[in-house]
Amino acid sequence: MKLSILIHALNEEKLIANCLESALEEARKSDGEVILVDSLSTDRTVEIAGHYPIRIIQFLNKADCSAASAVQAGYQYANGESEFLYVLDGDMVLQPGFISAAMNYLESNPDVAGVAGKVLDTSIKSWADRRRASIAKAQQQIVEVSELGGGGLYRRSAIESVDYLAHRWLRACEEAELGARLRAKGWRLIRLPEIAVIHTGYSESTSRMLCRLWRNRQMHAYGTYLRTAFRRPWWWLTVCQLWFLFATVILHVMAGILAVLGAMQLELINTITALVVSEILIWSGIILVLAIRKRSISDAIISIYTWNCYSLAAVLGFSQSTPDPNIPICGQELTTSLIPE
């Protein structure tokens, strides 16, 4: 067997059929299998999936229900003979021919661990959606990247060289963490200019997106990711990926120093007033620079607000330790009982 397509799903009854049909079509072309890992869906996702010739894995513990755990569980259950692994979400539809193109690229470039393509969003409402769409539109050629956000095709031998596919204890950042581990081992990651998947995703505003990421602790995962990388060969790569977290802290420290110096020089101004003035001056300057770069004052303000939200969440996340990511994930295979005779 040459290919295993690993799909994560949670309550995707409206989208899972299109996802599975696109995956099965690509699997047939490449002597592959399709594995759906379900995060204890409460709708008809599993029932619908049961009508397709795929393997269905479902978690036994609710605590395991995350995208990273699903990817790792899929890898855990995948056929050991598969040369390639494709990571896909249940709200995505694979585009015909992309996996074949990605396989050809990997076979022609033995130093490349993974290949992805463009992610085409059907709904663009949040700041993150606009940013992703802008990057995709600008890409017209093959580029080397630090991570394969939005899924991609990985070489199994590359994954085996870094022990595991996804860090099961991370609520987010699993693709960035994998990218850092692979690059620390000398592997490269590539994004092709072709569209790989159509992505439905969340149809929500930036404020709703940030609230959701805070509530489900996906924001906090940035700090947890930093902690898992500490003293590891990929630590510096992780710091470079999450530079905005450090930049935010440094800017606040600078504001504090300026406030103290200002209060000392101008005795009529107390430290709190000086701190407020320093913060306003520093962040106004950053907003101006970003507004010029992004050509949008609103996007600049959103960026600053987002940096601060993620930095606060990262501090909380950094305080959380994580167990060994190689611990096997408990799941049950439902395939046999669901596919009709």
| C-alpha torsion 228→233→237→239, nearest 10 | 50
Query: Can you give the pLDDT at residue 79?
Result: 87
Contact 117, 196 (CB under 8 A): yes
Q: Which neighbouring-strand residues pair with 145?
A: 189
**What pLDDT was estimated at residue 339?**
37
What one-character DSSP code corresponds to residue 187?
-
H or E segment at 77?
Answer: helix 67-77
Contact 56, 50 (CB under 8 A): yes
- Rounded distance, CA 318 to CA 313, Å? 9
Identify the structural domains of the chain with CATH numbers, from first to last. 3-205+331-336 (3.90.550.10), 239-318 (no CATH)
Distances, alpha carbon 311 to alpha carbons 226, 250, 291, in Å: 12, 11, 21
The CA-based angle 306-310-316, given to 5 degrees, is 155
Cα–Cα distance measured from residue 169 to residue 179, given in angstroms and rounded to the nearest whole number: 16
For residue 200, the one-letter residue type is: T
pLDDT tens per residue across all 341 residues of the chain: 799 999 999 999 999 999 999 999 999 998 899 999 999 999 999 999 999 999 999 999 998 999 999 999 999 999 888 999 999 999 999 999 999 999 999 999 999 999 999 999 998 888 888 888 888 888 999 999 999 999 999 999 999 999 999 999 999 999 999 999 999 999 999 999 999 999 998 888 888 999 999 999 999 999 999 999 999 999 999 999 999 999 999 999 999 998 888 877 766 578 888 899 999 999 999 999 999 998 889 889 999 999 999 999 999 999 989 999 999 999 999 864 343 33
The number of CA neighbours under 13 Å toward the Cβ of 119 is 25
Entry pTM: 0.91
For residues 91 and 15, the answer to whether their CB atoms sit within 8 Å is: yes
